[in-house]
Amino acid sequence: MNARTETELLLPPMHSPARLSNTHLDALEEETVFILREVAAAFERPTLLFSGGKDSLVLLKCAEKAFGAGRIPYPLLMIDTGHNFPEVTAYRDQRAEELGADLIVRSVEDSMARGTVRLAHPGESRNAHQSVTLLEAIEEFRFDALIGGARRDEEKARAKERIFSHRDSFGQWQPKDQRPELWTLFNTRLAPGEHFRVFPISNWTELDVWQYIEREHVGLPSIYYTHKREVVERRGLLVPVTELTPPRDGETVQVRDVRFRTVGDITTTCPVESLAADAGDVVLETLSVDVSERGATRMDDMTSEASMEKRKKDGYF
Amino acid sequence: MSTITATLDNTALHGDTGTALRFITCGSVDDGKSTLIGRLLVDSKTVLQDQLAGVQRGGETDLALLTDGLSAEREQGITIDVAYRYFSTARRKFIIGDAPGHEQYTRNMVTAASAADAAVVLVDATKLAWAAEVEDGTVVKRELLPQTRRHTLLAHLLRVQSVVFAVNKLDAIGDAGLAFERISTALNAFAEAAGVQVAAIVPISALKGWNVATRHADWVGYEGPSLLELLEELPVTVQDEAVPFAFPVQWVEKFSASADTSQGRRVFWGRVASGHVEPGQRVTVLPSNQTATVAQVLSHTRQPKVVHAGHSAGIVLDREVDVSRGDWLLAPGAFEPVREITATVAWLDDEPLVAGRVYWALQGHRWVKAKVARIVDRVNITTLESEPATQLEANSIGDVVLSLQQPLAVLPFTQSRTLGSLVLVDTASHKTAAAVLVQPAAAKA
């Protein structure tokens, strides 16, 4: 072990400020800003997918830095399942207004009314059907680039995703035939009807996101922090009790201290038990968790090993 | 909760120790790349319970399943595209690009290598002839697998800063010490012939975890650090700062005349390719050839700053000159734009490269038409010798002469990653067809 000890002498001690620099977050932010500008410059009709969730709020923060406050050069697009947490919808609208951004909302319920979305049964999750509404919005506005807040650390299919992901005219991802992505020479050439999905925070992890939220004081919907909520325990998850997700026979409703690690469709998103009241607390929890963000919170991903991959092939972002 | 103190302690443990090391794992199919990454993730405690539960098969943990995430990959038991993984130790953060081994997916390996600081080339000791024959002392042919050679060569061509060989599955060989010695000799001979500097050759067992995260004492005569200890110390990519200032314009921001930040001027955003930029510096615009002085420099977050190679900058000039996306701002007199370049290409498209065809070429943010004037030669992956060629098939490496529709400022890739690299794009399919590495002008007549 002599070699290692000698090298250690050359490095600053573990707790010195040099070792705790923000270099890593700065590098991630710089990469994200570079990509956001590339989209603004290379495409004619880009949009930024904005759900009001933490990843899209971090993206927006980076966009503010890239373009200056109030100058984001593309509209925000929200695909509304109609099954949203009210705190998230309210915060989404508030942020868009503060930024003076153009917010476009297209809803799965409208697609259902048009008959382009058919549910197998009334209680079915609308998550997968978002793809249909999304593709309809792309056609309506002729978007050629859609910026999303997906991260490669979220899920195995996401880990394979390019930063500039080419989609055919059906919005399909072709995982076996992705364009090589060399250096930062992004090939953004398109045929009519095709578009790109662009993921500027691909290289961020859940921990990076929370450390950035803490450092930059990024505001989030309140349900990301501890609150008391009625839940039932189901298959190891805490299922929130709402009008859309009532308790089943034999289940006991309990009030627990919880927060959401991720937000999405009410029918598929579960909170975790937590007392974390601010971003600093969440950073600490994230450092010590032993279940992944999706494993702890998403009912739909558990149904099939490849459900994310399948949805992405269908045009999901 | 005393948030701040606790955050510091935990950050120290989990490592925000500066810039992350981006490394790739490559090599031939089934050499154990996915298992190695699984091992690194498990031993660094990055793998979470639900993910570990997802890779239990018949009571055994199959580490390879942690990375092969596509259903097509699971069906076939191979890796098709790069999986990016993130983990950290007490000393450092890491981004792994787990590159596929199949020759058919070489383009995905090149994708991963273009962004990497280091390459870990896996060599499967059980696949090589000597492994089976060392025990009876037979003289064996020392031949590395073609993908080992191809991936090493590509990593070297792309200037991946550190190349590390990890000799895997030595636990499955009787006389592992002798096998490791002979494999090391063969690797060193190959590397020397190819001009590749080898950072280290580490004997490992990815399956058992030997020399991966922790050292396996008294084994095969190796006394160096474990693979992970080595990775913790490897340098990140050095920027080409010694080269004069060059700046490809990514995006032109137009302010209204009332905006107080810029008195109505435009800000040219982009990433400094080489050198650095500060107010007062003279620049020449390519292609208009006009000259101006830098009035103001902004960091990527719009703060006034001197910006060095590798970082994004916003540049305001002292007067209105014609500059648009794709143009370059250059140190005056330092570059001689050319209409013809000789370059090494890694051909990635299934459609072969054909002399006489016109492709789109992208350098920085500039698109120009490029015609393949001629194919100089192709590299024989086995002998490393150049051989004549009339076309370049997918996954081959060769030298070509490109004539350009408009002049570009280029430097050899060995001098500047940004000025020396282009991609070729098929004008019909829009597929990215080649990685292009500019050669010194007089290298091949």
Residue for token pair 């702890």: A296
SS (H, E, C) chain A: CHHHHHHHHHCCCCCCHHHHCCHHHHHHHHHHHHHHHHHHHHCCCEEEECCCCHHHHHHHHHHHHHHCCCCCCCCEEEEECCCCCHHHHHHHHHHHHHHCCCEEEEEHHHHHHHCCCCCCCCCCCCCCCHHHHHHHHHHHHCCCEEECCCCCCCCCCHHHCCCEEEECCCCCCCHHHCCCCCCCCCCCCCCCCCEEEECCCCCCCHHHHHHHHHHHCCCCCHHHCCEEEEEEEECCEEEECCCCCCCCCCCCCEEEEEECCCCCCCCCECCEECCCCCHHHHHHHHHHCCCCHHHHHECHHHCCCCHHHHHHHCCCC
Domain B246-330 falls under CATH 3.40.50.11820: no
Mean of pLDDT values over B420-427: 97
The letter for the amino acid at B417 is R
Is residue B400 within 8 angstroms of chain A, CB to CB?
no
d(CA B156, CA B379): 14
A107 in contact with B, Cβ within 8 Å: no
Q: How far is CA B58 from CA A224, B33, B208, in A?
A: 38, 22, 18
Contact A69/B at CB under 8 A: no
Confidence category of residue B131, pLDDT binned at 50, 70, 90:
very low
Cis before A86? omega within 30 = no
pLDDT higher at B169 or B241? B169
User: Is the minimum CB–CB distance between B54 and chain A shorter than 8 Å?
Assistant: yes
Residue to test with chain B: of A34, A61, A182, most B Cβ within 10 A: A182
CATH architecture entry for B337-438: Beta Barrel (2.40)
If you average pLDDT over residues B336-348, what whole number do you get? 95
Residue pair A167/A195 in contact by the 8 Å Cβ criterion: yes
- Which of A7, A187, A226 is the best substitution to test chain B (most B C-beta atoms within 10 A)? A187
Collect all residues of chain A within an 8 Å Cβ-Cβ radius of residue B435: 180, 182
- Give the pairing type, strands B162-168 and B198-203: parallel
Q: Point out the residues of chain A with pLDDT beneath 70.
A: 1-21, 290-307, 315, 317
- Best mutation site among A160, A169, A196, A226 for testing chain B: the one with the most B CBs within 10 Å? A160
Q: Does the CA dihedral A235-A238-A243-A247 come out positive or negative? A: positive
Residue owning tokens 């016109």: B358
How many CB pairs lie under 8 A apart between chains A and B? 193
Q: What ipTM does this complex have?
A: 0.89
Q: How far is CA A241 from CA A224, A230, A253, in A?
A: 17, 5, 8
Predicted confidence band at B442 (pLDDT cuts at 50, 70, 90)?
low
Chain A residues within an 8 Å CB radius of B312: 30, 33-34, 37
Name which of A207, A179, A3, A27 is nearest B22 in CA terms: A27
Q: Is the model's pLDDT at B5 over the cut of 80? A: no
Residue B405 phi/psi, 5-degree rounding, is: -70, -35
Cβ contact A182–B425 (<8 Å): no
Q: Supply φ then ψ for residue B185, to 5 degrees.
A: -60, -45
In contact, A85 and A263? CB cutoff 8 Å? yes
Q: Which tens digits make up the pLDDT trace of B22-61?
A: 999 988 777 788 788 888 888 877 766 666 677 667 766 7
- Separation of alpha carbons A191 and A177, rounded Å: 16
Q: How much is the pLDDT for B50?
A: 67
Nearest Cα neighbor of A181 from B370, B432, B152 is B432
B7 has a pLDDT exceeding 50: no
A313 touches chain B (CB under 8 A): no
Res. B8: pLDDT tops 90: no
End-to-end CA distance of chain A: 48
A211 touches chain B (CB under 8 A): yes
The 8-class DSSP code of residue B126 comes to G
Of A180, A184, A281, the CB nearest to B108: A180
Q: Nearest CB to B19: which of A23, A29, A287?
A: A23
B56 touches chain A (CB under 8 A): no
Greatest CA span in chain A, whole angstroms? 72
Percentage of residues in chain B having pLDDT higher than 90: 60
What is the residue extent of each domain of chain A? 21-205+304-312, 221-300
Q: At residue B396, what are phi and psi to the nearest 5 degrees?
A: -100, 160
Chain B residues with CB under 8 Å of A290 CB are 48-49
Which residue in A276, A205, A225, A222 sits closest to A58, CA to CA? A205
> What span, in angstroms and rounded, lies between the C-alpha atoms of B237 and A117?
49
CA A53, CA A84: separation in Å to the nearest integer? 11
Residues of A in contact with B348 (CB under 8 A): 180
Q: Helix (H, G, I), strand (E, B), or coil: what is residue B6?
A: helix
Identify whether the C-beta of residue B80 lies closer than 8 Å to the C-beta of residue B70: yes
Closest C-alpha among B84, B33, B326, B303 to residue A38: B326
Q: Please report which helix (H) or strand (E) contains residue B285, including its range.
A: strand B282-286
Q: Look at B18 and A156 and tell me if their CB atoms are within 8 Å.
A: no
Candidates B430, B436, B438: best to mutate against A (most CBs of A within 10 A) is: B430
Note whether A65 contacts B302, CB cutoff 8 Å: yes
Rounded distance between C-alpha atoms, residue B282 and residue B268, angstroms: 15
B430–A contact, CB cutoff 8 A: yes
Residue numbers of B between 58 and 77 with CB closer than 8 Å to A: 67-72, 74
Chain B residue whose CA is closest to A66:
B301
Which 173-202 residues of chain A touch chain B by CB within 8 A?
175-176, 178-185, 187, 189-191, 202
**Rounded CA separation B24/B190 (Å):** 20
For residue A102, report the phi and psi dihedrals to the nearest 5 degrees: -85, 115
Counting Cα atoms < 13 Å in the Cβ hemisphere of B377 gives: 11
The answer, for A10 touching chain B at a CB cutoff of 8 Å, is no
CB A29 within 8 A of CB A60: no
Tens of pLDDT, residue by residue over B376-415, are 999 887 788 899 999 999 989 999 999 999 999 999 999 9
In DSSP terms, B252 is beta-bridged to B268
Among residues B361, B397, B398, the alpha carbon closest in space to that of B376 is found at B398
A68 at interface of B, judged by CB pairs closer than 8 A? yes
- A30 and chain B in contact, CB less than 8 A: yes
Domain B21-233 matches domain B246-330 at the CATH topology level: no
Partners of residue B200 on adjacent β-strands: B164
The answer to whether A90 and A64 are in contact (CB under 8 A) is: no
The average pLDDT across B197-221 equals 93
Does residue B266 sit at the A interface (CB-CB below 8 Å)? no
Q: Which residue in B23, B25, B111 has the most chain A C-beta atoms within 10 A of its own C-beta, making it the best mutation to test that interface?
A: B111
Q: Are the C-beta atoms of residues A197 and A317 closer than 8 Å to each other? A: yes
Q: What is the pLDDT of residue B15?
A: 35
User: In this predicted structure, what is the pLDDT of residue A120?
Assistant: 85
- Residue A187's nearest CA partner among A209, A216, A156, A165 is A165
Q: What CATH number matches the domain at B21-233, 3.60.21.70, 3.40.50.300, 3.40.190.10, 3.30.565.10?
A: 3.40.50.300
A250 interface with B at CB cutoff 8 Å: no
A41 contacts B251 by C-beta, under 8 angstroms: yes
Does the domain formed by A21-205+304-312 have CATH 3.40.50.620?
Answer: yes
Nearest CB to A68; choose among B108, B302, B422: B302
User: Is A152 in CB contact (< 8 Å) with chain B?
Assistant: yes
DSSP summary character for residue B159: T
Q: How far is A73 from chain B (nearest CA, A)?
A: 10
First to last CA, chain B: 70
d(CA B413, CA B419): 7
- Sequence spans of domains, chain B: 21-233, 246-330, 337-438
For the cut 70, the answer to whether the pLDDT of residue B130 exceeds it is no
Residue B204 burial (10 A CB sphere; 0-12, 13-18, 19+): buried
